[in-house]
Amino acid sequence: MPSSSHHDAAAQAAERVRRLREDIARYDHAYYVLDAPLVPDADYDTAYRELQQLEQQWPQLRSPASPTQRVGGAPLPEFSPVRHRVPMLSIRTETDTTPQGALAFDQRLRNRLGLESDAPALEYEAELKFDGLAVSVRYEHGVLVQGATRGDGETGEDVSLNVRTIRNLPLRLRGEVPALLEVRGEVVMKRADFLRYNEVQRSRGLPTLVNPRNGAAGSIRQLDPRVAAQRPLSFYAYGWGEIDGWEARPDTQHGMLDAFAAMGLPVAPQRVHGAGPGVLVEFHTRILAERDALPFDIDGVVYKVDRLALQQELGFRNREPVWAVAHKYPAQERSTRLLAIEVQVGRTGKLTPVARLEPVFVGGVTVTNATLHNEDEARRKDVRVGDTVIVRRAGDVIPEIVGVVADRRPAGTAPFDLHAQLRGVCPVCGSQIEREPGEVDWRCSGGLYCSAQRKQALLHFASRLAMDIEGLGEKLVEQLVDGGLVRSLPDIYALRAEQLAQLPRMADKSADNLVRAIRGSLRTTLARFIYALGIRHVGEATAKDLARHFGGLRALLDADVEALEQVPDVGPVVARSIHTFFAQAHNREVLQQLLGAGIVWDETRGAARSQHLAGSSFVLTGTLPTLSREQARERIEAAGGKVSGSVSRKTRYVVVGAEPGSKLEQARELGIELLDEQQLLQLLQAPRAAGAA
């Protein structure tokens, strides 16, 4: 029989779980619905992990309404049908896309009701018409239990697991809620989320989404909820179906949406209510002007009679509500002719094909260019010079070609071939272009030499983990490059204080400090110098491995691919990248100019240094009295040790400074040896047995 102490612990856990769920739901609502975060991400993650641990420790406390259960369940073989107890019907579309369409809707209703011209104005609610996928979400006693698509209006598909992954949709409603509430709304993908998702997909060589609407619809109909969970979806409520146990329900459309918002459901703030068609005309005009600034795509607005009793009186005709209408805007897609495909070189050397178009007015602006993203995407869409193409623009999204009018293709066209068009070299600097296996992007290998990459190369070169030139930030780099003061990396070391002082917002003292920082960077380490060169795939750790393995720059320059693969953690892809970089004659020339500017390090130090801490893993926590975290890391690694960001059973030492974090408690729980700064310095100086991690 469980002891009283066990019951007490269980009760405390249940109360803590309840509070954590309430806090996380409040944080989610503020972040995803109100766009006003309440806590830093780290605090949110801490609360979420604590909830996960408690639910794992006390399985009886798990609940479908817990935020930890948003993603769950194995992939489905197919979707189950869901019968809508209240039909989920579509509404009529007003064919007149001008503001006159609102006046026509009002007049139809007045005629149907038999109102004279001097009768009081009808009251309306005006809302957005989202360009996404209509879904129904069902709450029982405030808990989300089901999600379904519209389907044919009578029967949809059960997409509950996918709907649960939508982060702005509450799993449990707030306040006084009906026993049963079926909420109808739209699943959309915001433009910024769409762009970020596609960029990540491209960087991984994975398929991209065609547009936000297709992204939303396709995500909800994924049979694997884990795939849906990776898609950044949002939900907005605009209506309802079956309701039970809501005695004091509002009697207007706008009142119902206000009540939804009070329960924590996301409702778009762009809506108005008032008397007469003038309210609708004004809303239609205003939203058209704001359309491009909205975070999501819309294709019009919706007008509804505000009073629910009058909605019921007006009823339906041909399975469409008489009391509502969708008033669309002109399409934001136009056709035009593709005149040429040019290739741009980005700040990181990425080569992007850009379509040059016959000017076309779409989405409120004249479009002459559209991105094709990469060669694979251009081929997937089969875009060819001379084609008639369909161009789409929504808000501040870069204009994009979404399709080709195949039957208008001229004879003699050929698929786009980036390598052939550029004859294998960068259009800016003439360096070789390369595309690694499994990647979608071609890149210029010119790095240090390519003027298109100059600003990015300079920022990286000056960064803290590279040459550590304090004060050489993004705005100053822009001024130096745009003003012609720096044309290549070695030019940094020729800068004079009087030159810098002439730049906007650069005082004499700031100029002097920067020149001192530049001169101070001349004495560095081989690892920092290698990292500063910005070789693709060579991060801080790989640069240290290269310096430790070769001991000097000359040996590294002379190494072939096979020799480079002998370096720990350097595989074929990284080895080829390093070899290609140093094989470029102009890169070697820049190296010689940098060394000629006075950059020095101890060539033998890396090879001769004791490796007595090889195999030992360290974790740093808190602020050390004299060493910065980077200095401590460098000294540990120079002695052969490794520094990790988290404590585990493999950790050999935890170095503790002032105001340590949770890593100290973790170290104590695992019985890991603790060191202060003085003990660390003694360990670094005196070779002794340092047990392998």
Write out the two tokens for 582: 């140093």
- CA 208, 212, 218, 222 dihedral sign is positive
Q: What secondary structure, in 3-state letters, does 633-650 show?
A: HHHHHHCCCEEECCCCCC
> Whose CA is closest to 445, among 241, 584, 610, 556?
584
Q: How many C-beta atoms lie closer than 10 Å to residue 319's C-beta?
A: 10
The pairing of strands 673-675 and 653-656 is parallel
Taking the C-alpha atoms of residue 506 and residue 127, their distance in angstroms, rounded to an integer, is 51
Q: Under DSSP, is residue 295 helix (H, G, I), strand (E, B) or coil?
A: coil
- Which of the 8 DSSP states describes residue 373? -
- CA 565, 570, 573, 575 dihedral sign is negative
Spatial strand order in the sheet of 133-140: 143-149, 133-140, 180-188, 234-244
Q: Under DSSP, is residue 299 helix (H, G, I), strand (E, B) or coil?
A: strand
Task: Provide CB contacts within 8 A for 551, sequence distance 6+.
Answer: 526, 603, 604, 606, 607
Write out the two tokens for 259: 């009540």
> Any idea how long the chain is?
693
* CA 680 and chain centroid, separation: 40
Number of alpha carbons in the 13 Å side-chain half-sphere of residue 657:
13
The pairing of strands 298-305 and 324-328 is antiparallel
Q: How many C-beta atoms lie closer than 10 Å to residue 422's C-beta?
A: 15
12, amino acid identity: Q
Which backbone phi and psi does 203 adopt, to 5 degrees? -65, -25
| Marked catalytic residue, from 129, 304, 381, 663 | 129
129 as an active site residue: the answer is: yes
Q: How many C-beta atoms lie closer than 10 Å to residue 6's C-beta?
A: 10
Number of alpha carbons in the 13 Å side-chain half-sphere of residue 270:
23
Helices 677-685 + 629-638 axis angle, to 10 = 20
**Residue 122 near residue 109 (C-beta atoms within 8 A):** yes
The pairing of strands 351-362 and 324-328 is unpaired
Residue owning tokens 């623009």: 393
The pairing of strands 324-328 and 93-94 is parallel
Helices 585-596 + 572-583 axis angle, to 10 = 70
Q: Under DSSP, is residue 127 helix (H, G, I), strand (E, B) or coil?
A: strand
> Whose CA is closest to 300, among 402, 183, 186?
186
Taking the C-alpha atoms of residue 553 and residue 378, their distance in angstroms, rounded to an integer, is 41
Q: Which residues are catalytic?
A: 129
